[in-house]
Chains A and B, each alone.
Chain A
Amino acid sequence: EELRLSHQFAPGDLRHKVAQMVADDVAAANVDLTIKIFPSGSLFKATEQYQPLSRGQLDMTVLPLSYAGGQRPEYNLTLMPGLIKSHEHAARVNASPFMGEIERILNEDDVMTLVKGYLAGGFASVDGCITKPEDVKGKTVRAAGKGFEEMLQAAGASIASMPSSETYNAMQQHVLQALNTSSSSFVSFRLQELAKCYTPAADVALWFMYQPLLVNKTTFDKLKPEQQEALRAASAKAEAYYLEEAKKEDAASVEAFKAAGVEIAQMTQADFDAWKKLAEESSYKQFVKDVPDGQKLLDMALSVE
């Protein structure tokens, strides 16, 4: 039997490696199951993975869950400023009842999670470092994620929405002055060539995005027990790998920016608190307004120590 896994990432990307690892281990388990990977959006485009997955037209995917936030607004909580504090905290959130609630919603769409994982990110800018809310005032910023856009707007930034393929040129021409995305995306966009200052995810980090490996539930349920077992075992191993590598991605991005002579800035705990306060008044508030039972879900997420 063959399962099709589609994602948007290049073969060198960590998220591809996680998928590849699961595919390799399942193949090695000799349970008559192969996973065929379609990387780099070669089957479905970046933001178009969730729908075919939930309809069973696609078997598996690795995807930033907030991309499906238009269909399930609850998912927007998986990319909220300040909700996750560190990779260790992310691991605890993954095991919490909050994620159980997200899983329940996924199940409603006939989707289930195999590998959980968060990636961190930061800010890069072409003039002045960004550590606290005042730093973005009057700047044109492109943020990854609705919650971040709302928070940055509340901080007085102008939000520019543009495709990721245009960010490099836009930064180069100063159409954009700052960018907020994941550590690995910074490097794959080669932004170290342009940036003047980089605020990475370090001991204090603001930006975490949930990017799990998902499978269609019906497809999974139809597999033979030994195939399911092999898939689960491979996924558990991949999850541990994902967590370890996610931490290294942050350090690797710092190295890349340092090597390019870019100034590295650090966010302090006070900066973080200021951002979070701003987020509470903007994006958290908006979330609670948009989502029925939003407050309950938010409280569940915030209660994870």
Chain B
Amino acid sequence: MSAPIAVAPVIKGENAFVRAVEALTTFFGWIAAALTVVALIVTCQMIFVRSFLGQSTIWQTEAVIYLMIAATTLGLGYVQQMRGHVNVDLIPMALGPRARRVLAYAVLLATIGVSSLIAFYSWDLWHQAFERNWKSSTVWAPPLWVPYLAMPLGFGLFLLQLVADLVKLATGTEPPFGIKEV
């Protein structure tokens, strides 16, 4: 399994496409971290403004929520590249090398399938919110297409990284499930 802290060596791709995708998802990994830091600062600003200045805090709570949603979805591709999404590899461990390779393809393709589905429908949702000018029902009332945009974008990046992983698997850069054959 890939533990979030255990240091598994991440195998970088040699292929130009793979390298380009990984550079892109890494860049968005930084963005995700930066958004988290911004959320942290905004929360502290909110506490300060409310507790010590006694002023209204209209936009902060909502902004922080959207920042965290964006950090999560935009970070998906990067965390995939770092093999940070936890999995349970009981069946792959029990299989022989050939069957394991087949399963690795099946798992990657299924992951690509689900992510495409969400990317597609979230793009649809974004489009609706944009067309109909939906706003959040608060006093701040930001247009909803802005936070919604993080979903198609994030799942798009996730998809790109998954395709890059497929290339890595096909070219033999990385063994199936990262399990080295003995």
Contacts and interface: CB of A to CB of B under 8 A. Distances in A.
In the complex, A touching B (Cβ < 8 A): yes
Interface of A: 47, 66-71, 73, 76, 138, 140, 146, 149-150, 153, 157-163, 175
B57 A158 contact: yes
Given A150-B139, A158-B50, A71 B57 contact: no
A209 to B, nearest CB: 13
A70 B50 contact: no
10 closest cross-chain pairs (CB), A and B: A70-B137, A69-B137, A70-B135, A159-B56, A158-B56, A161-B61, A149-B139, A70-B136, A71-B134, A146-B139
Chain A facing B: main interface SS:
mixed
Contact of B57 (A47, A66, A68, A160): A160
B104 interface: no
Contact of A140 (B50, B58, B61, B137): B50
16 contacts: A66-B137, A67-B137, A69-B137, A70-B134, A70-B138, A70-B141, A70-B144, A71-B132, A71-B134, A73-B135, A146-B138, A157-B56, A158-B50, A158-B56, A160-B50, A163-B61
Interface in B55-70: 55-58, 60-62
Nearest to A139: B54
B138 A161 contact: yes
A140 B54 contact: yes
Nearest to B142: A70
A158 B137 contact: no
A68 B50 CA distance: 28
A1 to B, nearest CB: 27
B140 to A, nearest CB: 8
Nearest to A149: B139
B40 to A, nearest CB: 17
A138 B54 contact: yes
Contact of A159 (B58, B62, B135, B144): B58
**Size category, B interface:** 10 to 19
A71 B62 CA distance: 17
Contacts, number: 55
Contacts of B61: 161-163
A251 B136 CA distance: 33
Nearest to B55: A158
Contact of A158 (B54, B62, B141, B144): B54
Nearest to A290: B141
A159 B57 contact: yes
Given A68-B137, A71-B135, A140-B54, 12 more contacts: A66-B137, A70-B138, A76-B137, A146-B138, A146-B139, A149-B138, A153-B139, A158-B55, A159-B57, A159-B58, A162-B61, A175-B51
Contact of A161 (B62, B132, B144): B62
Contacts of A160: 50, 56-57
A158 B51 CA distance: 10
Contacts of B135: 70-71, 73
Contacts of B137: 47, 66-71, 76, 146
Given A70-B135, A70-B136, A140-B50, A161 B58 contact: yes
Contacts of A140: 50, 54
Please indicate which of the listed interface residues A71, A73, A140 has the most CB atoms of chain B within 10 Å of its own CB. A71
A201 B128 CA distance: 39
Contacts of B144: 70
Contacts of A162: 61
Contacts of B134: 70-71
Nearest to B144: A70
Contacts of A159: 56-58, 139
Please indicate which of the listed interface residues A66, A76, A140, A150 has the most CB atoms of chain B within 10 Å of its own CB. A140
Contacts of A67: 137
Please indicate which of the listed interface residues B56, B132, B137, B144 has the most CB atoms of chain A within 10 Å of its own CB. B137
Nearest to A166: B61
A158 B53 CA distance: 10
Interface string B118-138: 000000000000001011111
Interface in B12-59: 50-51, 54-58
A250 B13 CA distance: 67
A160 B62 CA distance: 11
A291 to B, nearest CB: 12
Contacts of B56: 153, 157-160
A76 B139 CA distance: 11
